[in-house]
Amino acid sequence: MASTNTEVGIDDHSADVFPPFQTETYPSQLLWLALTFGLFYYLMAKVALPRISSILEVRSDRIEQDIEEANRLQRESDEAQAAYEYDLAEARNNAQVIAQRARDEAKAEADTKRGAEEARLNEMLEKADADIAATKAAAMEDVGAIAEETTQALVNSLLDGKITKAQVSKAVSKAGAGA
């Protein structure tokens, strides 16, 4: 294999040794490992990792803030919702009160109107009754006078007698009372 290998081995006599065990390559590997890994560690510790850490921190702060803000808005909207519902209930209550009052007023008005009308009607009824009674009384008086005249005429013609008007009137009222 050494003959076909055009690359320069570290040492010709060591070319047959298993490469990881060629100790003469160790100083070079260790030096370059120390340099490269040291630089890498420095870059990570001083630049890359603080930067990523700050990115993640800023983001988690921002998310926390946003969640807080969202909670605040949620609270506000809950409060607005509650206020709205309270207003709605109150308005509904008021509406009921107003309606009740309107109903009561309408009823009271109707009651007074009906009372007045009834009173007027009663008055008219009473007046009519009184008229009837007066008419009846007048009629009854006329009946008495007619009876007296009729009786006087009858008696005069039948008995050809002399009967006074006073006697007839007395008899008629007696008969009327007896009847």
Partner 1 sequence: MASNPIDQFKISKILDLQVGSFDFSFTNSALFMVVTVATTAAFLILTTSGRGLIPGKLQSLSEILYEFVANMLRDAAGAEGMKFFPLVFSLFTFILVANLFGMFPYFFTFTSHIVVTAALAFLVIGTVIVYGFYKNGIGFLKLFVPDGVPVALLPIVGLIEVISFLSRPISLSVRLFANMLAGHITLKVFAGFVTSLSSLGFLGIVGAALPLAFTVALTGLEFLVAFLQAYVFAILTCMYINDAIHPSH
- Output DSSP code: residue 7: S
* Residues of span 62-121 touching partner 1 by CB under 8 A: 62
Minimum CB separation from partner 1 for residue 98, in Å? 57
Task: Take residue 177 and report the two structure tokens written for it.
Answer: 């009372």
Helices (H), 14-48: 26-43
Residue 44 interacts with partner 1 (CB under 8 A)?
yes
Minimum CB separation from partner 1 for residue 94, in Å? 51
* Residues of span 6-25 touching partner 1 by CB under 8 A: 7-10, 18-22, 24-25
The residue to which tokens 């309270």 are assigned: 86
Residue 5 interacts with partner 1 (CB under 8 A)?
yes
> Exposed, middle or buried by CB within 10 Å (0-12, 13-18, 19+), for 42?
exposed
Considering only 3, 12, 36, 104, the residue that binds partner 1 (CB under 8 A) is 36
| 17: nearest Cα among 40, 6, 29, 1 | 1
The letter for the amino acid at 124 is M
Residue 32 interacts with partner 1 (CB under 8 A)?
yes
Cβ atoms < 10 Å from Cβ of 172: 20
Minimum CB separation from partner 1 for residue 67, in Å? 15
Residues that bind partner 1 in the complex, under the rule CB under 8 A: 1, 4-5, 7-10, 18-22, 24-34, 36-37, 39-41, 43-45, 47-49, 51-56, 58-59, 62
